[in-house]
Amino acid sequence: MDVQIRNRPSFAHLMVRMNPGDRMVAEAGAMASMDPSVSMQARWNGGFFGAIARRVAGGESLFVNDFVATAPGHIVLTQPVPGDIACVDLQGQSLFLQPGAFLACEPTVRLSVSWAGFASWIGAEGLFRLKVQGVGRVWFGAYGAIFSREVDGHYVVDSGHLVAYDPTLSLHVGASGGIFSTLMGGEGLVSRMRGRGRIYLQSRSLSGLAAWTNSHLYA
């Protein structure tokens, strides 16, 4: 199965060329087009209870779609926001994805739901996160460009910019500075990543876009 990320970084999408018997798992609603030789079947996102939890607490889709090719064909997968798509090739390790980041994965990758904690919720990152683990490729998207950082100890991330991170890192929420700086500096609460591992960030945030839009609508 050949998968290419096209039109990056601003309007990235996946071009998936499949041979007979190939399978691809994708987020519900991600399919933009496909050949009739590819069939689609929906299933629960992270299991029944995991899907319900992610829907109620994180606003995630209840289902993911399994695509299976019965003859050579292709599917085009995209995300709802303009931005880049990244690929991580798992070799037995795990990765946490923030709500809305997951786009697709190979069928050898397992999807499950993990409790993110109230600190994540206070930091506007959601109560639950998607855990992907196993062997195979995972594709996830973001609003804007995607860039990564290696954390060794402590790293500060503005709320809404975190996309994915290694399970070896823990997330804590705190003030961006002193009382005056936190209230007047425009940053408010920030996420503090502690431990050793890699994080993936997006260059834009939907909350920032919403705030900018509202300031112009009601000016």
3-state secondary structure of 116: coil
Note the pLDDT of residue 84.
Answer: 96
Q: Are 147 and 203 in contact (CB under 8 A)?
A: yes
Predicted pLDDT of residue 118:
55
**pLDDT score at 182:** 44
The CATH number for 192's domain is: 3.60.160.10
The pLDDT value given to residue 117: 57
Residues 6+ apart with CB under 8 A from 213: none
Domain of residue 34 covers 2-217
pLDDT of residue 186: 47
Given this model, what pLDDT does residue 56 score? 46
Low-confidence ranges of the chain (pLDDT < 70): 44-62, 115-128, 174-188, 209-212, 216, 218-219
* Residue 103, token pair as written in the block: 């786009």
The rounded distance, in Å, linking the Cα atoms of 193 and 120 is 11
Query: Which DSSP string corresponds to 124-157?
Result: TS-SEEEEEEEEEEEEEE-SB-EEEEEEEEEEEE
Q: What is the count of structural domains for the chain? A: 1
- Taking only the tens place, the pLDDT of each residue in 156-191 is 998 789 999 999 998 887 655 545 444 444 456 788
Integer CA distances (angstroms), 53 to 26, 41, 172, in order: 19, 22, 22
Q: How far is CA 125 from CA 129, 130, 199, 218, in A?
A: 9, 12, 14, 26
